[in-house]
Structure 1
Amino acid sequence: MKAKLVSIILTSYNEEKNIGRTIKDCRVLKKFFPIEIIVADAASKDKTIEIAKRMRVDRILRFPFKRGKGADFWAGGLLATGDYIIQIDTDHQFQPFEIPLFVEALDKGADVVIGTRFSNGKIEKGSITFQNYFGNWVMSAATSIGCGKRITDVMAGFKGFKRNAFLALDLKERHFEYEAETVTKACRMGMNLVQIPITYTKRVGGTSGIRALQDGINVLKAIWKVYFSNLPKYSSLR
């Protein structure tokens, strides 16, 4: 059977210290299945794009201003030609060598796969602040209510999708709250959503763009919006 093409979407903003290593580690996966790498960049002011060009990724989307991570990821996914779409943050805190675990879960019937650091995952000491840990716990609890099932790590920037499922989600949120929109919509639409343990390590360089309080409020709004939306069942769209 022909191997599925895996599209890896890297959203970036000023990640010159991390993007090269992330691309290099993604390239290793060509030994296991065909891949394409798409960089969706939010107007980086450093050498992020220069490095991506030098490393000859398959596609580069460079936006003239910061639109939001959610908007960038959606645009990158629409350009993807793969059977499977993988979202992984460019900061290398999530590990590209674990992408085959997502592909395996998709092969076995999952429509959407989300990585979890907090249910049998591995977290390097000092890689996450208490503020972010607590905020993620609150947002995951709220998402669990919206989903009707326990979600342990809604904000992890490491997810996988069957192409048809990704398109059916029709993501609207432009910033970090799209993570919760993704998971809540998948559940409400009846998609087969699977959670798998992943590894999380310290940042080598650069800074996180998360604004804990504002992003937390926006996440709760996004969950509320999806919960009260009249969404079609995924089975009717296939």
Structure 2
Amino acid sequence: MLYVVIPAYNEEGNLGILVEGIANMAQANGFAYTIIVVDDGSTDKTPDIIKELSAKYIILPLENQPNAGLGRTMAKGLKKAAEISADGDIIITLDGDATHDPVYMPPMIERIRQGNDIVIASRFAPGGVERGLSSFRKFLSRGSGTLLTAFFPTKGLRDYTCGYRAFRAEIIKQGFSKFGDGFIQETGFSVTPEILLKLRSLGAKIDEVGFMLKYDQKVGKSKIKVSRTIIQYLKMIIKFKLRGL
């Protein structure tokens, strides 16, 4: 079984395209699936769209009220996936803005079946491309990656900040078993490296597949606050180094 966790905040222009793409990919490859959509207190038509999609596709809707941030949203979605999944199942996370194409799921799933615990759709692996990002955003993504690599070098890992990932269900269960509610503590975009670093400390085997980030396909404004995210990353790095993770 494939469980796909989607955090969604004001994604009325993107969510339908993404869910349809996931369902079509699953049908074409013979995957049984459940999509867990976590609405993070959206103020647009996202809640209505989730209801409409739930009538057509296999969706488990969850919500935060009010808006709680990406970290809390990911924690809720992954915790639910861990609760309802079985050993041998695969959990995939990806952004709700349709910049992560479901076409990359089959090769990610295949790498999991080959023995990896985590497979990341990476912009920096061979074949990886970023489309539609400004030069400044490219600089920030590479800068944060360089910083995280310097402090937490990990075999098979180049892209610490892309949220498009496949997990063996057991490794997510181990994360919650080991850390409890402390598994996911970051509230903002720093949650993406936090999850990897926590699971890295459990000995997770990590691999990557190259993918194209289609940022020019996104409808609506970016939700990332650059200066706040940089500060969150730095605080997280210091905290993790002090804890010896």
Normalised by the shorter chain, which TM-score bucket?
Answer: 0.7 to 0.9
Distance 2:114 2:140 in 1: 32
Query: 1:222 is aligned with what amino acid?
Result: M
Match of 1:144 among 132, 141, 149: 149
Distance 1:220 1:142 in 2: 9
1:224 aligns with 2:238: yes
Equivalence map 1:1-40=2 (5 Å) = 5-31=1-27, 32=29, 33-40=31-38
**Could you list the per-position Cα deviations for residues 166-185 of structure 1 after superposition, in whole angstroms to 9, with x for gaps in the alignment?**
23332221210011112222
Match of 1:157 among 163, 177, 180: 163
Summarize the Cα distance change of 1:226–1:119 in structure 2 as closer, same or farther, 3 Å threshold.
same
1:172 aligns with 2:185: yes
Task: Extract unaligned runs of 5+ from structure 1.
Answer: 232-238
1:119 aligns with 2:125: yes
Taking structure 2 as the reference length, what is the TM-score of the superposition?
A: 0.86
Note if contact 2:123-2:130 (Cα within 8 Å) is conserved in structure 1. Answer: no
Summarize the Cα distance change of 1:227–1:102 in structure 2 as closer, same or farther, 3 Å threshold.
farther
Summarize the Cα distance change of 1:167–1:216 in structure 2 as closer, same or farther, 3 Å threshold.
farther
Distance 2:170 2:133 in 1: 33
The percentage of aligned residue pairs carrying the same residue is: 25
The number of residue pairs the alignment matches comes to 226
Equivalence map 1:1-238=2 (5 Å) = 5-31=1-27, 32=29, 33-56=31-54, 57-80=58-81, 81-82=84-85, 83-123=89-129, 125=131, 127-149=132-154, 151-169=157-175, 170-201=183-214, 202-229=216-243
Note if contact 2:104-2:121 (Cα within 8 Å) is conserved in structure 1. Answer: no
Distance 1:219 1:178 in 2: 9
Paired position in structure 2 for 1:234 = none
**Could you list the per-position Cα deviations for residues 80-108 of structure 1 after superposition, in whole angstroms to 9, with x for gaps in the alignment?**
22321100111111101111122111111
Summarize the Cα distance change of 1:122–1:141 in structure 2 as closer, same or farther, 3 Å threshold.
closer
Task: Extract unaligned runs of 5+ from structure 2.
Answer: 176-182
**Could you list the per-position Cα deviations for residues 147-191 of structure 1 after superposition, in whole angstroms to 9, with x for gaps in the alignment?**
223743222120111122123332221210011112222333321
Note if contact 1:29-1:35 (Cα within 8 Å) is conserved in structure 2. Answer: no
SS in 2 for 1:14: coil
Distance 2:170 2:151 in 1: 22
Distance 1:116 1:137 in 2: 12
Note if contact 2:53-2:59 (Cα within 8 Å) is conserved in structure 1. Answer: no
More helix by share: 2
Q: C-alpha root-mean-square deviation of aligned residues, in Å?
A: 1.7
Note if contact 1:114-1:194 (Cα within 8 Å) is conserved in structure 2. Answer: yes
CA deviation after TM superposition for structure 1 residue 124, in Å? 5.5
Distance 2:62 2:234 in 1: 29
Paired position in structure 2 for 1:236 = none
Summarize the Cα distance change of 1:184–1:142 in structure 2 as closer, same or farther, 3 Å threshold.
farther
Summarize the Cα distance change of 1:69–1:146 in structure 2 as closer, same or farther, 3 Å threshold.
same
Summarize the Cα distance change of 1:123–1:230 in structure 2 as closer, same or farther, 3 Å threshold.
closer
Distance 1:106 1:70 in 2: 24
Taking structure 1 as the reference length, what is the TM-score of the superposition?
A: 0.88
